[in-house]
A and B are shown apart, each in its own frame.
Chain A
Amino acid sequence: MSTAREGVLASYDYLDSTLDAIRELREKGFEEITAFAPFPEHHIEEALGYGTTPMAIFTLVGGLTGAATGFALAVFTSLDWPLVTGGKPILSMPAYVIIAFEMTILFGVLFTVFGVFWNMRVPDLKSDVVYDPEFSAGRFGIYVTAPGDRLAEARQILESSGPSRIEDDPEARAHG
């Protein structure tokens, strides 16, 4: 019996069949599951046992970097050529808050966008992965890999929920 990993992909028309299949797969100890959905479906994430995402850390670090950059830029440039106007202090902190604020948002967004690309493992433009174009239209999907000797069991669980299509993937090309 081979123990190399093999994959199988099933497409479903109904949300509840998808959820049933995911739950049963996890109960039977299959952990290498990728689910597909046409929109962010929180029940699927729950069924797969997702916790929180680290996305907020990227935003926080970005925002703090931005605030520091904004203040640093305004302070440095003011001190670089000190010009006293009206006998007032050279550094006008209240005015610099606006620059720091805009930079907070800018860097926060840039870091968040970088972080989400990093976490989603995109860009990933190879076109030979196992996929059903109906996933972006209306179907849900489950892709599961298992050692060759357990694949039949996984396939049987997927079939018991009534998939509209099922496809074997003997090489188990990994999904992101």
Chain B
Amino acid sequence: MATVTEKERGAQTHPDVRKYAEVNTDILQMLSRPGKWWWILLGMSIAGIGLLAFSWGNQIINGIGLSGLNSPVGWGAYITTFVFWVGIAHSGTLISAILFLFRARWRQSIYRAAEAMTVFAVMTAGLFPLIHLGRVWHAYWLFPYPNQRLLWPNFRSPLVWDVFAVSTYFTVSSLFFLLGLIPDIAAARDQTQKGTLRNRFYHLLSFGWRGTDRQWHHFAKAYLLLAALATPLVLSVHSVVSWDFAMAIVPGWHATIFAPYFVAGAIFSGVAMVITLMVPIRKVFRLEKYLTIRHFDAMAKLCLVTGLIVFYAYLTEFFMAWYSGEDPERRVFWNRLFGHYWWATWIMLTCNGMIPILLWFKRVRHSIPALFVITIFINIGMWFERYVIIVTSLSHEYMPFAWAVYRPSFTEMGIVIGTFGWFAFWFLLFIRLLPPVAISEIKEVLPPPMRPKRRTKEEVSS
């Protein structure tokens, strides 16, 4: 075989992958060998779910008073974490749908795991409105349903928009995820032994996929259409989440920049989370061939760009508060920097504004350990961003006699930590049961196998 020059390697997305069949072997081996660490992590995540169940159960039995929520701070750690998880979800759809429309060739090896992250993050976020309800058994009141008293939800309320946006987002991202999985599940089916439980599971989930021309023809078109629908959806969901705040006349919330500011923040935190998750997966399953330094470089750049937008939005908020001349607005922002919650604001500014500056340097973007650490800081910073927005504004509204301090209780902390276990549980099951890297889509960016050329007489004789 002719040696490949460095330039030719540079033009390929996965220069070290030679054959199509190699992709199947490399990706499907992830499903067969769990390893010690997988079991340890699964145990930890189940412990997290236990903590969640205990704390939430306790709160259901004894009432919402177990949380630190008070008047005026009626939204605290729960809504903070809700927005955090919805935000995390967004980058999955960004990578799977928006980058698909832009034909970004580096998305192929990342998007499946990112999409799974989306589905599980929305599942996690969806718990919080329920947790936040004092009487969770009335949760169905959120939806419009015919009832004897002719009561309907108020469609002018951003909270009802949120119900529609988040439930649509969950449905759409799950369907998009499952549809994309079908050809890869068929690949897993073809490589497991017939008759085993796993084989039957894949056989059922593959819906009898055989990769015929007719199937691919419609599949590719449907995928494009779904990507085109998911793109405006993902932008709308976090806009609607931001309007939960921006529609209220609370100082620090009532701003028109909230929608783009929240969308940028969501993608910023989501891409950071994808990097955080991909680094250990790459290491444990030896996926260096598929997740090359270039992939991380591209994700880090995405982080850098969205991080700059977010930081710019922070500065705009402070400037607008000053420029508005509104006393309560000015006080809220002064209070953010130097008041009771100064530490949260400075964590946010450091993690989201200062630390990502490092990503300007190529050496940092090309260092996997550095990226891992930076993205964890970004995730911490993004949680605190929502905490700052929600808590500092509510605790410091218009009337000085109504100002109050909110402190998360142990119940709230238990639930917030527990949901990380819940998320990790689903993600760990996913990487063992379903192909975590898109097998068929990686083949699209590999050079197709062509017949070896017959050598001419001159070549043979020379």
Whether B358 sits at the interface, judged by CB under 8 Å, is no
Contact A122 B448 (CB under 8 A): no
Q: Which residues of A91-131 have CB atoms within 8 Å of chain B's CB atoms?
A: 92, 95-96, 98-99, 101-103, 105-106, 108-110, 112-113, 115-117, 119-127, 129, 131
CB of A83 to closest CB in B, whole Å? 9
Contact B215 A106 (CB under 8 A): no
Give the distance in Å from the alpha carbon of A110 to the alpha carbon of B178 in the complex: 13
CB of A80 to closest CB in B, whole Å? 6
Tier of interface size on chain B: 35 or more
Using Cβ atoms and an 8 Å threshold, which residues of chain A touch B151?
Answer: 81
CB of A47 to closest CB in B, whole Å? 9
Contact B217 A102 (CB under 8 A): no
Contact B214 A135 (CB under 8 A): no
Contact B207 A122 (CB under 8 A): yes
0/1 per residue, B23-61, Cβ < 8 Å to A? 010000000000000000000000000000000000000
Contact B229 A136 (CB under 8 A): no
Whether A168 sits at the interface, judged by CB under 8 Å, is no
Contact A40 B220 (CB under 8 A): yes
Using Cβ atoms and an 8 Å threshold, which residues of chain B touch A73?
Answer: 144
Contact B156 A95 (CB under 8 A): yes
Using Cβ atoms and an 8 Å threshold, which residues of chain B touch A78?
Answer: 152, 155
Give the distance in Å from the alpha carbon of A13 to the alpha carbon of B450 in the complex: 8
Whether B285 sits at the interface, judged by CB under 8 Å, is no
CB of A42 to closest CB in B, whole Å? 8
CB of B207 to closest CB in A, whole Å? 4
Out of B22, B160, B175, B216, name the residue touching A37 (CB < 8 Å).
Answer: B216
Contact B229 A112 (CB under 8 A): yes
A96 touching B216 in the complex, CB below 8 Å, given contacts A37-B211, A81-B150, A116-B179:
no
Out of B191, B214, B217, B225, name the residue touching A59 (CB < 8 Å).
Answer: B225
In this complex, the member of A92, A101, A116 whose beta carbon has the largest number of chain B beta carbons within 10 angstroms is: A116
Contact B216 A113 (CB under 8 A): no
CB of A166 to closest CB in B, whole Å? 17
Contact A134 B21 (CB under 8 A): yes
A176 touching B207 in the complex, CB below 8 Å, given contacts A40-B220, A120-B219, A137-B24:
no
Whether B432 sits at the interface, judged by CB under 8 Å, is no
Question: Can you name the residue of chain B whose Cβ is closest to the Cβ of A73?
Answer: B144
Contact A74 B155 (CB under 8 A): yes
Contact B210 A175 (CB under 8 A): yes
Using Cβ atoms and an 8 Å threshold, which residues of chain B touch A120?
Answer: 209, 214-215, 218-219
Whether A56 sits at the interface, judged by CB under 8 Å, is yes
0/1 per residue, B431-460, Cβ < 8 Å to A? 000000001110110001111000000000
In this complex, the member of B22, B160, B207 whose beta carbon has the largest number of chain A beta carbons within 10 angstroms is: B207
Tier of interface size on chain A: 35 or more
Out of B171, B208, B444, name the residue touching A125 (CB < 8 Å).
Answer: B208
CB of A28 to closest CB in B, whole Å? 18
Question: Can you name the residue of chain A whose Cβ is closest to the Cβ of B444?
Answer: A39
The SS class assigned to the B binding surface is helix
CB of A146 to closest CB in B, whole Å? 18
Give the distance in Å from the alpha carbon of A126 to the alpha carbon of B225 in the complex: 29
Q: Which residues of A117-162 have CB atoms within 8 Å of chain B's CB atoms?
A: 117, 119-127, 129, 131, 133-139, 162
Contact A38 B207 (CB under 8 A): no
Question: Can you name the residue of chain B whose Cβ is closest to the Cβ of A92?
Answer: B156
Using Cβ atoms and an 8 Å threshold, which residues of chain B touch A39?
Answer: 183, 216, 440-441, 443-444
Q: List 15 A-B contacts (CB under 8 A).
A: A15-B450, A37-B211, A39-B216, A40-B220, A77-B144, A101-B236, A102-B233, A103-B168, A109-B171, A109-B176, A116-B218, A121-B214, A122-B208, A126-B208, A135-B210
Whether B127 sits at the interface, judged by CB under 8 Å, is no
Q: Which residues of B148-164 have CB atoms within 8 Å of chain A's CB atoms?
A: 150-153, 155-156, 160-161, 164
A15 touching B207 in the complex, CB below 8 Å, given contacts A73-B144, A102-B164, A136-B183:
no
Contact A45 B221 (CB under 8 A): no
Give the distance in Å from the alpha carbon of A17 to the alpha carbon of B210 in the complex: 20
Out of B175, B215, B221, B236, name the residue touching A113 (CB < 8 Å).
Answer: B175
Give the distance in Å from the alpha carbon of A139 to the alpha carbon of B448 in the complex: 11
A138 touching B21 in the complex, CB below 8 Å, given contacts A105-B232, A117-B207:
yes
Whether B135 sits at the interface, judged by CB under 8 Å, is no
Whether B212 sits at the interface, judged by CB under 8 Å, is yes
Contact B190 A136 (CB under 8 A): yes
CB of A133 to closest CB in B, whole Å? 4
Whether B172 sits at the interface, judged by CB under 8 Å, is yes
Kindly list the 5 A-B residue pairs having the minimum CB-CB distance in the complex, ordered from nearest. Answer: A138-B20, A77-B152, A116-B222, A124-B208, A133-B190
Contact A45 B211 (CB under 8 A): no
Using Cβ atoms and an 8 Å threshold, which residues of chain B touch A36?
Answer: 210-213
Out of A13, A59, A102, name the residue touching B168 (CB < 8 Å).
Answer: A102
